A and B are shown apart, each in its own frame.
Chain A
Amino acid sequence: MTGRDAGRLSLILLMTPFALWIGLLILLPQIGIGYVSLREKVGFNQYEYGFANYAAFFGEPIYRNTLLRTAWISILVTILALIIGFPVAYYIAKVARQRSRAALFLMCLIPLWVSDLVRAYGWIVLLRETGVISTTLVSLGVIAQPVEMLYNDITVVMGLVYTVILFMIVPLVSTLQGMDDALLEAGYNLGGSRFTVFRRIVVPYAMPGIVSGCIITFMLAAGSYLTPILLGGKNSSWFTEQIYNQFITRYNWEAGATFGVLLLGFTSFVVWAGLRLTGQSLATTVAKE
């Protein structure tokens, strides 16, 4: 009897911080944002409730296009992060020797110790017209005039891939590490080519890592603010920037809240659609043992 009570007590104690965190920091603010998004300002300190803010979003092509653009670039970033991250993860988990694994993994982690802002400025120092790369190329005689490499979509994509790739590599490494080498050997013994082994054994085994990596990467990219703004310059239209503008520059909290809800809804939809298209479900993200 006492044992069960103690068990229950420890369960409650264990769950309380989690419940508080979810409730106070995630659920409550979301409900608040949802509430504000339904409020419409009709005059000086006068409000009505309805879906007018949502109608305004769909009526203005700038907002729609920015949201679609944000989603499209984020998907591109996710795919690139997967293509670049997979070989890295595979090397760390399977090819590298036991002793160097930890060191390699650490080398992937170190950039994360520096804040996003500093890393974005790092790119700026390298890529600006009077920056390191441009001046080096000029002094080597490769190009005649300094070139501006900042302020375009390619730079934004590159910067984002760099910022989020770690969140692709970590889940991939941990799933791939669980894979028994015997599986690969069996595949080769049965006459499989390298490609077949990769397609039929490695990829299905790594699927939980791929799915969770892609979801995290996509969400981070779509929700990022600093990297697209700093590297994109005059042509960086990013949806988070629209939200900032609504809240701060236009004092329009109602529209800002609406945009926030729409961003959450739309990115969730993209993740759902991605899972459906690839025949996966959220359950796959839990590694099979």
Chain B
Amino acid sequence: MRKLGNRLLGATALLLLAAAPAAHAETLRLLTWGSYAPDELVKKFEAENPDIKVEVTFSNNEEMIAKLRATGGTGYDLAQPSHDRIYAAQLEYNIYKPLDLSKINVDQMAPNLVDGVKQNTTIEGQVYAVPHQWGTSGIMANKKEAPDAKSWADLCDAKYKGRTSMRLRRTILLGTAFSMGMNPFDLYADTAAYKDMLDKVTEKLIACKDNLKTYWTGGDDLSALMLSGEVVLSETWDSTAFKLYSQNPDIVFVPPETGALAWIDTFAMPRGGEADDAAYKWINFVIRPENVKVMSASTGSLAAVPNAADLLPDDKKAAVQAAFTQADLDNLKFFANIPPGIEDMEGIALERIKAATN
């Protein structure tokens, strides 16, 4: 027995010795969205850079900020918040560090998106983010059941009672405001007016609650609802709709007549990140055209590179063409930077809606 124990000890010691050199390898800790780090790309990246190991954590905008705030910006080396969620979070919680643009192949990115993101995320002359993927939020309709849907307000149309869904987050507040003839982005600066707008939207969405089947919480959840036919009309990310289009061509993305809401997911570096070089390598790696193709197939969104639409897989290309006309693209409403305090007001509105019974 003792002999066996000694042998085990010896074996463990050997294993530890063998494992020790591997610990020197750099680790790139990515904090990103589900599907933004497909296995294929991670493996390829690790094969190209044998001294870098990639660790991926899936999250969403709110959780990314909460996580980085809790750790003071440590624990991750590269994060991917949306472009409108960086400015206020950086001012208030100081969780990111400025990017060294000379280390990024910015010239390979779409210039208009780079400029847009720069405008949104420049603080004291320093740029905190570059674009990665972009897409829109709008509505998704099953054309067989809801052929005429064209506005955010249709989600509350009694015609589709018990057959619609939405995610109870800020997107639907903004979309509903647009459909009621208001422009929330113009009201950002005027807290009182914004509050007034939110009250109207809240009232509308509470009245609408009876019309909904449920609130969806994630892409998988929404996909199941749409594919099973339980829901025929829903607020959605366009990428989710494009994915479903390849499984059921009746399900299409409809840019609302007031304009689809456009977001850009970015690359930003947490303040306490320890693998900056690896992070820059990853950014430059995923914008190479052959990798963009793999990435877009996984995310279902357009990459922030000049000819992004051509780099989509065929089924997604068809879905995009079925969804957008040039007029829709001209009508996109890009999310504006959220000033501090706005999200707190929206939070109260969302809670009121969730708690309401009728």
Residues of A within 8 A of B (CB): 44-45, 62, 65-66, 128-130, 148, 150-151, 229, 233-235, 237, 241-242, 245-252
Contact = CB atoms under 8 A, between A and B. Distances in A.
A241 B347 CA distance: 12
Contacts of A62: 351-352, 355
B214 A151 contact: yes
A248 B66 CA distance: 6
A249 B62 contact: yes
B321 interface: no
B351 A242 contact: yes
B116 interface: no
Contacts of A128: 228, 230
Interface string B313-329: 00000000000000000
A113 B217 CA distance: 26
14 contacts: A44-B340, A62-B355, A65-B355, A66-B355, A129-B228, A130-B230, A148-B213, A151-B214, A229-B217, A234-B209, A241-B354, A245-B351, A248-B62, A249-B343
Given A44-B340, A65-B355, A130-B230, A248 B209 contact: no
B247 to A, nearest CB: 15
A148 B92 CA distance: 45
A60 B344 CA distance: 15
Contact of B343 (A150, A247, A251): A251
- The 10 residue pairs across chains A and B that have the minimum distance between CB atoms: A250-B347, A233-B214, A130-B228, A62-B355, A248-B62, A234-B214, A129-B230, A237-B355, A248-B66, A234-B215
Interface in B132-168: 162, 168
A231 B206 CA distance: 20
B112 to A, nearest CB: 30
Contacts of B209: 234
Q: Report whether over half of chain B's contact residues are helix, strand or loop; otherwise say mixed.
A: helix
Nearest to B227: A130
A251 B347 CA distance: 9
Contact of A248 (B63, B92, B213, B217): B63
A163 B91 CA distance: 43
Contact of B347 (A148, A233, A245): A245
Nearest to B165: A234
A235 B92 contact: no
B6 interface: no
A42 B268 CA distance: 28
A150 B216 CA distance: 13
A130 B229 contact: yes
Contacts of A151: 213-214
Contacts of A148: 162, 213, 230
Contacts of B212: 234
A251 B230 contact: no
A174 to B, nearest CB: 35
B281 interface: no
Contacts of A235: 357
B200 to A, nearest CB: 19
B28 to A, nearest CB: 25
B69 interface: yes
Given A130-B230, A234-B209, A251 B214 contact: no
A115 to B, nearest CB: 17
B214 A250 contact: no
Given A130-B228, A130-B230, 10 more contacts: A45-B92, A62-B352, A66-B355, A128-B228, A128-B230, A129-B228, A130-B229, A235-B357, A250-B347, A251-B62
Contact of A250 (B162, B215, B229, B344): B344
Contacts of B352: 62
A224 B62 CA distance: 21
B254 interface: no
A128 B63 CA distance: 29
B305 interface: no
B65 interface: yes
B350 interface: yes
A280 to B, nearest CB: 34
Contacts of A252: 344, 347
Interface string B202-233: 00000001001111010000000000111000
Contacts of B229: 130
A50 to B, nearest CB: 18
The residue among A148, A235, A242 with the most chain B CB atoms within 10 A of its own CB is A235
A64 B66 CA distance: 25
Contacts of A251: 62, 65-66, 69, 343-344
The residue among A44, A150, A249 with the most chain B CB atoms within 10 A of its own CB is A249
B354 A237 contact: yes
Contacts of A233: 213-215
A234 B216 CA distance: 9
B94 to A, nearest CB: 9
Interface string B330-358: 00000000001001100100111011010
A233 B228 CA distance: 17
A67 to B, nearest CB: 11
B355 A247 contact: no
Contacts of A65: 355
A46 to B, nearest CB: 11
Nearest to B212: A234
B278 to A, nearest CB: 28
B350 A150 contact: no
Nearest to A124: B224
